[in-house]
Amino acid sequence: MTETRPTALQLCPFSTHLESGLNARFEIVRWFELDAGQQAAWLAERAAAVRAVVTGGHLGCSNALMAALPSLGIVAINGVGVDKIDLPFAHSRGVRVTTTPGTPTDDTADLAVGLIISLLRGIPAADAHVRHGEWPNGDRPLARKVTGRRFGVVGLGQIGSAVAARLAAFGPVAYTGPRRKPVPYAFHAELPALARASDVLVVTCPANAATHHLIGAAVIDALGPAGYLINVARGSIVDEAALIAALEAGRLAGAALDVFENEPHVPEALRKNPRVVLTPHMASATVETRTRMADVVLENLDAFVVGTASSTAAV
């Protein structure tokens, strides 16, 4: 049968809004619903028909899949991270990779602040205390104050800058990054120095080879037994084994994490630790932001289909 629409592989579930837009533009193959055998059989018959792959930032697209699609022209990522895709390999095959830059900035920064308050004030445990009927038996232990803390931001890009602007209302902010920026915050060229000068360290830098396990034992120890670690970037930036060891040994006061090394699988040691607050990679998970992200994905795909491929979201 003659196809009237280009074919695209959808690698993970999306919002109803995005899926509706994709179905209106492409013959969609819901790749994540096929087992390995079905995927191999489909590729054997239809691989050359695929012009686009639509995926999430947490998943990316493997080199093996890109190599199996000779007509692939675009990998459209519903997110801002490109750490799950080999950009040089994609470019070598003439595959454009697009993201949704800027869309999750506000929500991610808001969540970072929410995680800090939740962690230091013990909000999740306090909620459970009331829900489980324990309040009549006594009060919760005293929590820790947020206002007046020293905040360190690792990576002062769009999200880091938004986090810093919000935290400046609570206390002094400092940051580290590749270079000093014209901002009213103290700059530390070395990450351990920032950690030593911080009560709360917030990770907002990109995930790449240079930042893999950037937050390891040395940085955690510099933050110290009264310090708190917040990660709203990518799980690979924090050495989870080192984090768990520090928490269990009392070398870190607590952690709040939205991202993990092996999502959606979170180590039991983190799930059971009462000094840890956990969220399921939900930084951009609001109706407003996910709708805007979906619109940008569709705009990127439209630009590719009509042959302009001029989206500023290309990387």
Active site residues: 234, 263, 281
Beta strands in the chain, from DSSP E residues, in sequence order: 7-10, 27-30, 50-56, 74-78, 96-98, 151-154, 173-176, 186-187, 200-203, 228-231, 254-257, 276-278
Which amino acid, one-letter code, is at 10? Q
Report d(CA 71, CA 88) in Å as an integer: 18
The Cα–Cα gap between 17 and 34 comes to: 22
**What is d(CA 94, CA 16) in angstroms, rounded to the nearest whole number?**
30
Among 294, 289, 280, which residue's Cα sits nearest to residue 15?
Answer: 294
- Give the closest residue to 28 by CA, choosing from 304, 301, 212, 226: 301
**Alpha-carbon distance 129 to 143, whole Å?**
14
Distance CA 177, CA 275 (A): 28
Give the tokens for residue 61.
């697209």
Tokens of 87: 């950009």
